[in-house]
Amino acid sequence: MSEAVLERLVEFAESGNQQKIVFNGQSHQGWIMEITDEALLISTGFADKTGKDLWLNFNELQQSELFYWDNKTDQWVEFKL
């Protein structure tokens, strides 16, 4: 993954209160926990019993829709890599 894409993913992780990734028709809403050269980890849910950790690799992220929650406008805002 290029340095520019890594920087954009860090920017995405720091945007808004939460992030949402829509991939293969499924929506994953939560917090970005880790970014590596190969993948991104999003943690969903509020507790261990209901939450899941999901790794998405770079190819999957390119096929995904990315959003962050904007507290100023109280709505999801699309984020482009």
pLDDT in tens, 12-43: 999 999 999 999 999 999 999 999 989 999 99
- Tell whether the model's pLDDT for residue 46 goes beyond 70: no
The Cα angle at residue 45 between residues 52 and 65, in degrees rounded to 5 = 80
Q: Domain boundaries in the chain?
A: 3-66
Distances (CA, A) of 8 to 41, 43, 46, 49, 65: 15, 19, 26, 31, 14
pLDDT in tens, 47-80: 556 778 999 999 999 999 999 999 999 999 999 9
Q: Does the predicted model carry a pTM greater than 0.85? A: yes
Which segments of 1-81 are extended strands (E)?
A: 19-23, 26-35, 39-44, 52-57, 65-70, 75-79
